[in-house]
Amino acid sequence: MNHSDPQETVTNAFDRDELQQYLGDRITNEHLTRRHQREHRKATLRRREWRGWSAKLTSKRWLLRQGLKLSGLSGFGRHNALDVQTTLNTIYLPTLPKALDGLCILHMSDFHIDMIDGLGDRIVAQLQSLTPDLTLITGDFRDRSYGPARDCLHLIQPIADAISSECYAVLGNHDSLGLVPGLETMGINVLLNESASVFIGNDIIELAGVDDPSYFGCDDLGKATAGLSSQHALRILMAHSPHRLKEAAAAGFNLYLCGHTHGGQVCLPGGKPLMKSIGKVEWRYCSGNWQYDELFGYTSRGAGTSLAPVRFNCPPEITLHELRRG
């Protein structure tokens, strides 16, 4: 199936037949069914969410927004949320091939592009001066987590146009499978428990990406690594969240890139998060650089926001990683 315009791609998250035709044997029937059922369940729950006053009172989103309005901090928080900056980060990898010393990887995550007007322009402005060797996006392209993908694709298009290198992505817990055809039309290659060999000069990066391991639980590291062959190349795993870091270390990956946590998004001075919803993952793996055994990782604070379009003491970022041998 050839899609020439992302606006004409699959826009209904639940159009299973069209997705199955587009994806073919890239995705198992079990994976497709699980995604379909959970997306449908999420849509049903969200439609019911605002029907009663009691439901509003138990909604984190509603409570947070009301608190911000009452405190008068909404405007300041919104200003912070749009102040997207490029973080320059150096990662030292002892086994990095000499030919890849100095490799630059642009890492972006958690756009939630439909949450706050103007965010896309701020991201594009940062991208104009960047010339990475490879671009990796670790999920949550949109905030509204069900329904047609058309509006989200329209907002992502300028970002895709501004990316100057080969680009790969994975889906997050807010992303519909229906986004995949449109993203790939834009040149963003989505890895659905898949792998790719990326050639940088005469050397190879072995890249694997798993589907969302948190809400959807559709990650399959075994399937994602099945196509990896070289034991001497740089091996990178992309996942939306840090939930699979132990498995990645056991599988021999050198680098793990993820997001999902927003770095807390709303933090006290000094960066202590007021909001944590990361399951059993220790917080030290949930923002910035970390190491687990021989695995090095980075959890992005993300470029966007969720629950409310604000940030405090936790600036949004896109990250340019420079890999060094050492």
Residue 143 within any structural domain of the chain: yes
Strands, E, within 34-176: which ranges? 85-93, 104-108, 134-138, 167-170
Tell me the Ramachandran region of residue 181: left when phi exceeds 0, alpha when psi lies from -120 to 50, beta otherwise: alpha
List the one residue out of 223, 243, 221 whose CA is nearest residue 292.
243
CATH no. for residue 98? 3.60.21.10
Domain count, the chain: 1
Q: What is the pLDDT of residues 32-86, one digit of tens each?
A: 999 988 888 877 766 555 455 445 545 565 666 666 665 657 889 999 999 999 9
pLDDT digits (tens, 9 = 90+) for 127-155: 999 999 999 999 999 998 777 788 899 99
pLDDT of residue 185: 97
Each residue's pLDDT tens digit, 316-326? 999 999 999 98
- Domain for residue 291, yes or no? yes
Residue 183's domain comprises: 75-325
In a domain, 282, yes or no: yes
Q: How many CB atoms lie within 10 A of CB 326?
A: 9
Residue 112 lies in a domain: yes
List CB contacts of 46: < 8 A, sequence separation 6 or more. 145, 146
29-49 and 16-23 helices cross at what angle (nearest 10)? 140
Residue 27 lies in a domain: no
Model pLDDT, residue 4: 40
User: Is residue 189 in some structural domain?
Assistant: yes
Task: Determine the Cα angle at 250 with ends 246 and 256, to 5°.
Answer: 60
| Residue 157 maps to a domain | yes
The pTM (predicted TM-score) of the whole model is 0.90
Residue 128 lies in a domain: yes
